[in-house]
Structure 1
Amino acid sequence: MSAPAEIGPSQSPVTADDLDLAVRLAVAALREAPQAAWRRKAGALEWDCWETVEHLSDDLFAYAAQLGPRTPPLDGEVPFVWESRRPGGPANAVHASRAAGPAGLVQVLEACGALLVAMVRTAPPQTRAHHVFGVSDPEGFAAMGIVETLVHTHDLAQGLGLEWSPPDDLCARVLARLFPRAPSSTDPWPTLLWATGRGELRGRPRLTAWRWDGTPRAR
């Protein structure tokens, strides 16, 4: 295994509290969505808004599950069954009951976020677990969960007609943790959208392919 990347003193760690904040802000925003809007497409995604919340919930659940075993897997995912409920839909282990309506859907998101928050708080910092972009640690999984939450809520806000602008300091911390080569002289939220293929940035074209670096950082 390669040596952990160094992190500068000005780059404060990403914490379970940061993740909890991201989920709470997303849940509060989504609770304002009009009842009739959930079948709309979520931004540029091929999924509707309901499916996108299920996908986000599933991301948070899956990250918590990766950290859960006493000896987490380093070469693959904990083998839950992920399945799509329609051609082209997201392949999830988590699905919300349609009978519970949007309020139930958002509750599923809140619960899955809480699972990841709890795992990040309790997993020893030396824990390592598999992710498709590389083995990471609890802080890395917290940062991944935050990015998933912030950018998918952006997608959802476009489809649902909501305002969404997360805190700059939160965006800056996850950029430093997962996108160390992203510009540091631009506003953090537009930079995070650019780094995840969702916008242009001061003359930089929209990215057509992107990935983060979850490598554990030496502190």
Structure 2
Amino acid sequence: MSPSAESPDPSTVSADDVDRAVRLCLDLLGSAPPGAPWDAQAGTIEWSCWETVEHLADDLFAYAVQLGPRKPSLDRVVPFVYDSRRPGGPRNTVHADRAAGPAGLLEVLEACGALLVAMVRTAPHGLRSHHVFGSSDAEGFAAMGVVETLVHTHDVACGLGLRWTPPDRLCAQVLARLFPDVPDGTPPWPTLLWATGRGDLPGLARRTAWRWYGEPRS
């Protein structure tokens, strides 16, 4: 992906924001040392670090293809086949070749991220497509891609023993776009972790179930 800046409008989420989130993820995961435990559990979720990166790549791919048809369905996803490689593993269309190692895994992630960036940039104005959390527009799918990237990088970083704190601005943008139910005045990254069931905020119970709201705000 080519270098890019954040969206100039802090109230919107753009293709450039997806690009930045994915590049930051790739930079961090690419710094994992040789022999890093890619089959270790990823944070508090039930998948391995490898499976979680595959799942993230699959998320980015899935959001990109929802923007592909000229007349997207508002009732269902594009009917690719999704399957799991093991009981309890993520159900993906995208799987990385284990023989290619972690570098190949990250190449798959980069390619899927680039697909979403391109589709968000070229989607016609007003296009809407199905998502289980509300039929959405290109900005909404961009925001979903950023959320998935930020929180799953957190999961994998926990499993690999890496430190990860994404930019506040990216977190604030996706909170504003997808999570109208979160509290005001709390730090953006801890709030995003709380919103997605991964962290705590003072005075609030940890979420055991959560969703975002993909419909356009106006």
Aligning the two structures, in what range does the TM-score lie when normalised by the shorter sequence? over 0.9
Unaligned stretches of 5+ residues in structure 1: 1-9
Q: State yes or no: 1:14 paired with 2:18.
A: no
Is the 1:195–1:210 Cα contact (8 Å) retained in structure 2?
Answer: yes
Contact in 2 for aligned 1:11/1:176 (Cα 8 Å): no
CA distance in 2: counterparts of 1:181 and 1:206, whole angstroms: 14
**Pairs within 5 Å for 1:130-149:** 130-149=130-149
Deviation at 1:144, TM superposition (A): 0.3
CA-based RMSD of the aligned residues comes to 1.0
Q: 2:32 aligns to what?
A: 33
Instruction: Give the superposition deviation at 1:11.
Output: 5.5
Distance 2:77 2:41 in 1: 29
Distance across 2 between alignment mates of 1:180 and 1:90 = 28
After superposition, the C-alpha distances for 1:145-197 in whole angstroms (9 at most, x for unaligned) are 00000000000000001110000011001000000121120100000000000
Q: Could you tell me how far 1:124 is from its partner in structure 2?
A: 1.4
| Partner Cα distance (1:11, 1:106) in 2 | 28
For 2:30, the aligned partner's letter is R
Q: Is 1:22–1:149's contact at 8 Å kept on the other side of the alignment?
A: yes
Shift of 1:77: 0.7
Contact 1:35 1:102 in 2 (8 A): no
Q: State the shift of 1:32 in Å.
A: 1.1
Q: Is the 8 A contact 2:168 2:188 kept in 1?
A: yes
Q: Distance in 2 between matches of 1:76 and 1:35?
A: 41
CA distance in 1, matches of 2:122, 2:65: 13
Q: State the 1:61 CA deviation.
A: 0.1
Q: Residues 22-61 of structure 1: matches in 2 within 5 Å?
A: 22-36=21-35, 37-61=37-61
- One-letter code of the match for 2:187? D
Structure 1 counterpart of 2:141, one-letter code: F
Letter in 2 for 1:28: D
Give the Å deviation of 1:217.
Answer: 2.0
> Which residue identity lines up with residue 22 of structure 2 in the other structure?
V
Q: How does 1:1-219 map to 2 (within 5 A)?
A: 12-36=11-35, 37-218=37-218
CA deviations 1:38-80 (Å, max 9, x no partner) are 0100001111000000000000000001000111111001000
1: CA distance, partners of 2:46 / 2:125: 36
Which amino acid counterpart does residue 166 of structure 1 have in structure 2?
P
How many aligned positions are there? Answer: 209
Show the counterpart of 2:3: none
Equivalent residues of 2:38, 2:160 under 8 A apart? yes
- Output the amino acid matched with 2:198: R
Deviation string 1:58-110 (CA, Å, 9 cap, x unpaired) is 00000001000111111001000000011111110000001100000001000
Separation in 1 of the partners of 2:10 and 2:122?
A: 22
- Measured after TM superposition, the shift of residue 29 of structure 1 is 0.4
Show the counterpart of 1:6: none
Q: Distance in 2 between matches of 1:24 and 1:11?
A: 19
DSSP-derived class of the 1:200 partner: coil
Q: Is the 8 A contact 1:55 1:92 kept in 2?
A: yes
Contact 2:10 2:169 in 1 (8 A): no
Amino acid of the structure 2 residue aligned with 1:87: P
Question: 2:45 is matched by which residue type in structure 1?
Answer: L
What is the TM-score of this pair, normalised by structure 1? Answer: 0.93
The answer to whether the 8 A contact 2:75-2:130 is kept is yes
Structure 1 contact 120–139 (Cα < 8 Å) conserved: yes
CA distance in 1, matches of 2:125, 2:189: 27
